[in-house]
Amino acid sequence: MEQQSKRIPALDLIKGMSVIGMIIIHTLLTFADVKSQSESAIGLFIVFLGRGTSIFLICMGITFMTSRHQSLKSSITRGGMLLGAALSMNFLKFIFPVIFGFAPHNFIQRYGWHAPIEQQYLYLMLLGDILQLAGMSLLFVGFIRKYVTNKYGILAIGLLVALVSREVSGINIDIPVVNYVFDLLFNNDFPAYVYFPVFPWMSFIIIGMFFGKWYQELNYNRPQLFKNMLYIGIPFAALGAPLVFIYGDYNYNGFYHMGPGGVLYFAGWTLIFLWVIFKISINVKENKFIKLLKYCSKNLTSMYMTQWILISWGKGIFGFRENGITTVLALIGMYIILTFSLQILLDLLRKKSQKSKAVEVLN
């Protein structure tokens, strides 16, 4: 079967929507004042959208199993590249504005610091976000893909990661480099130093891998795959709900550091949501908006980095969490345009560079 037939268009659309969604969410969280985030209907809805990280991670797990690049080496290489990209992004997000004097004072004061903050550069460089989670996870899940051939074995590993997440949360060793690796794996600080620790967030990627493996066994039957997601999603959500709402201290210690019940609950609703999107997508014809979402999906990592850097630089102009919802909505529109414009410019430059190399080869 040709590689193209393995692709799942619904996942491309979802990843494309996540690109636009993250610009909206990050703009609100960066520029909106507390009242606009917590009291306005629009602000509350956007904050709610920000709880959709599990959607992206499960999609990542599915596509990881159907990627052209199936070697362990490719997984480790990609993981290392993402970790490198994360460090570069943090430099441009945090340190670049400080060096050139346009980081707002209230952002610095948020951490209890006082200028000058050169001694805090390393801390800012190492702040952990979704790229660090993806990079660290790829260093592990490549071994699962290579050595675990039974789909239920993959699912068991994903659930085990969730099950032990609260028990290993906060493990720390007072050795600088090792300590940072442990932070990426097990951090439980709030305000978060590492927003998405590998335990428990890698579980969502591995659950996605389970469905990716199932997709292969179904001979790439997309309708049956999403039907299976619904059948698994409903009991997951049903089992997770009482754990989250009754035993929440252990199972939902905040969104960023949830326990096993939180993983089940969010994974369940994510799988149900994916089934809904698939049912909608099969009746949608190709149009300009669909092409736009596919473009976003194709350039997800670079657009993620671009929008965060642009938004972070904007703090020096528009202030940090100082704006009302009307201003924030205008900023959302502006940052969507800026992100797409810069991505298109980068594409043009890359194509020009490739064309120049081709000419050099011919000559």
Q: Give the pLDDT confidence score for residue 68 in this predicted structure.
A: 85
Burial of 74 (0-12, 13-18, 19+ CB in 10 A): middle
Question: In this model, does residue 283 exceed pLDDT 90?
Answer: no
Average pLDDT over residues 243-256: 91
Unique residue bearing structure tokens 């994510």: 270
In 10 A of CB 319, how many CB atoms? 17
> Which residues, at least 6 apart from 260, have a Cβ–Cβ distance to it below 8 Å?
159, 162, 163, 165, 166, 200, 243, 251
Confidence tier at 114 by pLDDT (50, 70, 90):
low
Q: What percent of the chain has pLDDT over 70?
A: 92
Write down the pTM of the prediction.
0.93
**What digits encode the pLDDT tens for the residues 41-90?**
999 999 988 888 999 999 999 999 998 888 999 999 999 999 999 999 99
Residue 326 phi, psi dihedral angles, 5° rounding = -65, -45
Residue 258 phi, psi dihedral angles, 5° rounding = -70, 160
**What digits encode the pLDDT tens for the residues 181-193?**
999 999 887 656 7
DSSP symbols for 255-288? GGGB-HHHHHHHHHHHHHHHHHHHHHHTTPPP-H
Confidence tier at 324 by pLDDT (50, 70, 90):
very high
Q: Give the pLDDT confidence score for residue 7 in this predicted structure.
A: 82
Q: Give the pLDDT confidence score for residue 29 in this predicted structure.
A: 94
Judged by average pLDDT, the poorest of 120-124, 241-245, 342-346 is 120-124
Residues 312, 337: Cα–Cα separation, whole Å: 16
Q: Give the pLDDT confidence score for residue 113 in this predicted structure.
A: 63
Judged by average pLDDT, the poorest of 72-76, 173-177, 214-218 is 173-177
Question: In this model, does residue 356 exceed pLDDT 90?
Answer: no
